[in-house]
Structure 1
Amino acid sequence: MTSRDVAMTRISPLSAFRVGLAMSLVGLVAWLLMVALLYIGMSAAGIWDQVNSLIGDIGGDQSITFGMVISVAALLGAIMAILTTILAPLSAVIYNAIVDLFGGLQISLHEQADLE
């Protein structure tokens, strides 16, 4: 088994943008699935009927529907995805500036020999 030390001294902002975009889109899909499952579970428990009844008793005529919940979740998720995508290359630029001052991350790589 051999090992060697490698220093990560630069991260491309374009590469960080691509990875950040992909991860934020996957996170957005996971967020929307989680909200949909949570809504379905709360609906099966009768929580939304009680909330809509409470809103009607207060004097409101608006009811909370699946479309409204998914729309709000999609809006919030899209805002978070955009912020994450913007912050990824910014983080790479900040990392590159810090590396110029203090050096990069030291990573130790170990290679194992095949036993075949």
Structure 2
Amino acid sequence: MAKSAVRAGLSAAALILALPCAFPLSAQTFEQIDAIIDASGDEGSGLALAREQASRNEYLEALATLERVLAENPKSREARLMHAVYLCRIGDRQGGLVEIAQLKKKHYGKEVLAEARDRCERGEAR
């Protein structure tokens, strides 16, 4: 019983210490974090924000933004493709290839998906 209480306490402490890491490093204030969350709720501004983050090589932040976009807009084809490509860019080739494989050719075109898959396999994904 005492072991589980200690584990629960350590888990809670680890979670509390990890929370600041869950937010992008570029967001220094709660206002900035709120702005990022608000921007990612709208598909267009969320995609633009993810592109901006990726242009600064902030792919983890861009992926988080795309996940928020997809939470609000689960059918966003562009967000799905970008998410797969950015997974490849951070080195998660397997995850990126799995996501690319789930995309339908009729929505993206055979050539677009083939190029994304090829670049991901080579580690380029650009």
TM-score of the superposed pair, with normalisation by structure 2: 0.24
More helix by share: 2
Larger radius of gyration: 1
More strand by share: 1
Higher relative contact order (CA 8 A, sep 6+): 1
